[in-house]
Amino acid sequence: MDVYENAMVEARVAFANRINRLVKVANSENLGFFLVYYAALGSAIHESMEKIFKKAAKRCKKMDFANLAEAFEAQASVESKQAEEMKSDTKIWIDWWNQRQSLDLSAKDYLRHPTMPSMQVIQDLHQDVVEHQVPFAELAIAYEMQRTDTIHSFTLIKLAIFKLGLSALRRLGFVRRAAKLTTPRVLNKNLLAGFLKQHPEAVKPMIEKSCLALEAYAEFLDDCFRLANNEAEKYQCVAT
How far is the CA of 35 from the CAs of 7, 138, 149, 204, 220, in angstroms? 31, 26, 14, 35, 13
Identify which of 27, 122, 116, 28 has the alpha carbon closest to the alpha carbon of residue 79: 122
Q: Which residues contact 198 (CB under 8 A, 6 or more apart)?
A: none
Domain extents for the chain?
2-235
Q: Tell me, what's the pLDDT at 237?
A: 59
Q: What pLDDT digit, counting tens, does each position of 39-71 carry? A: 999 999 999 999 999 999 999 999 999 999 999
> How many angstroms separate the CA atoms of 8 and 214, rounded?
10
Chain-centroid distance of CA 211 in Å reads 14
Q: Tell me, what's the pLDDT at 133?
A: 83
Q: What pLDDT digit, counting tens, does each position of 134-187 carry? A: 999 999 999 999 899 888 888 888 999 999 988 888 888 878 877 665 455 666
- Most confident region among 17-26, 27-36, 200-209 by mean pLDDT: 200-209
Q: Domain spanning 2-235 has what CATH number?
A: 1.20.910.10
Range list of H helices, 102-202: 107-111, 117-131, 137-164, 173-179, 189-198
> How many angstroms separate the CA atoms of 23 and 186, rounded?
30
Can you tell me the mean pLDDT for 20-35?
91
Q: What pLDDT digit, counting tens, does each position of 95-124 carry? A: 999 988 888 999 999 999 999 999 999 999
Can you tell me the mean pLDDT for 58-86?
94
> How many angstroms separate the CA atoms of 233 and 115, rounded?
22
